[in-house]
Amino acid sequence: MRFWGMFRFTVLETVRKGTLIFYFGIATLTLLLLAFGITRSPNDPELITMFGIPFGGKAMGNLGLVEFLLYMLHHQSVQFILLLGIFGVSGLIPDMLEKGTIDLFLSKPLTRMELLLSRSLGATAGIGLNLFYFFIGVWAVFGLKLGVWHWAFLSSFIYVFFAFACFYSVVTVVGLITRSTGFTILISFCFLFISWGLDAREHGLYLLWNNIVYHRLLDALYYLTPQLNAMLENSSRVIIKTALFPGMLDFTIMPFLCSLGSAVLMYALSIWYFSRQDF
């Protein structure tokens, strides 16, 4: 009851926060644009017009046109959605720690672990609602306008949501330590870039210094933190069944499993730190 009370409150807070309403607005606008911008030619069922640009035939190899469009849309939008999501809910942990708020929460018969987890999961669920709105909207637009009900696209929501949930464990640690919304947003954004860098470390960061210790350190960092970029890439690959270009890997569950481990580690660290603090 107490856990769900805080969870429910946090979900409500994420929905009522101005930034998430803004995000909701952007998502709605995107969906409306898609709804009006996509049409299938009545004369040629193989021809799809998207914002006035005609697409026809097979996109690439055996890849269907709708799959290709959904893949591109997914690939281009998830990073942006994630950035907006972080902007919207990064402040929830520092807000909770503000003087006058945390006193009230900690005086209630909740353990600090319950308080932190209910808050973090509530924030994740809030973003999940927004994500789901976008995914189901795109799915419905493609279904209604093009007659393709692409279930794989809809199911990719689960992977994106999971990636965000793992990423939020980092946001939680940073929020707890800095107790500042600004710093939390800044460091979370930095982590996004670091995550991209770590994912492609063999072609980038490794080349900066040819030292085995440095390389292993980067590896450790990669496996100890959520593998955000790898998870998002793989969530896009759920949509297509064939490789788009030579060398492109198939969907793999490994980044999700590793990230789950690192998220558990991050939350354990957060709970330990939070339990020792005075407010």
Partner 1 sequence: MYTMNALQTENLSKQYRSGAFKKYNIPALDKVSLEVGEGEIFGLLGPNGAGKTTFIKIMLSIVHATSGKAEIFGQSIKIRSVRELCGYLPENHRYPQFLHGLDTLLFFGRLNGLSESELRPRAQTLLETVGLVQWAKVKTKKYSKGMLQRLGLAQALMNNPKLLFLDEPTDGVDPVGRKEIRDLLIGLKSQGTTIFLNSHLLSEVELISDRVAILNKGKVIRTGTVAEITSQKLSYTIQLSSHLPLALEERFKSSLPAFSYTDNRLDISLNDKTDLNPVIDALRTAGIGIDGMTQQKASLEDYFIKLVQGENNK
Q: Which residues contact partner 1 by CB under 8 A? A: 1-2, 4-6, 8-9, 12-13, 16, 98-111, 276, 278-279
| Amino acid type, 41 | S
**Do 169 and 117 meet the contact criterion of CB atoms below 8 Å apart?**
no
Listed in order, strand segments (DSSP E) in the chain are 38-40, 47-50, 53-56
Residue 20 or residue 154: which is nearer to partner 1 going by CB? 20
For residue 60, the cross-strand partners are 63
Residue 111 or residue 242: which is nearer to partner 1 going by CB? 111
**φ, ψ (nearest 5 deg) of residue 170:** -70, -45
CA nearest to 243, candidates 13, 71, 123:
71
**φ, ψ (nearest 5 deg) of residue 43:** -85, -35
Instruction: Reduce the DSSP state of residue 121 to 3 states and report it.
Output: helix
**Do 2 and 110 meet the contact criterion of CB atoms below 8 Å apart?**
yes
Q: Which DSSP symbol is given to 249?
A: P
The three-point CA angle 134-230-137 to 5° equals: 10
CA nearest to 199, candidates 181, 175, 226:
226
| 24 burial via Cβ count (<10 Å: 0-12, 13-18, 19+) | middle
Instruction: Reduce the DSSP state of residue 213 to 3 states and report it.
Output: helix
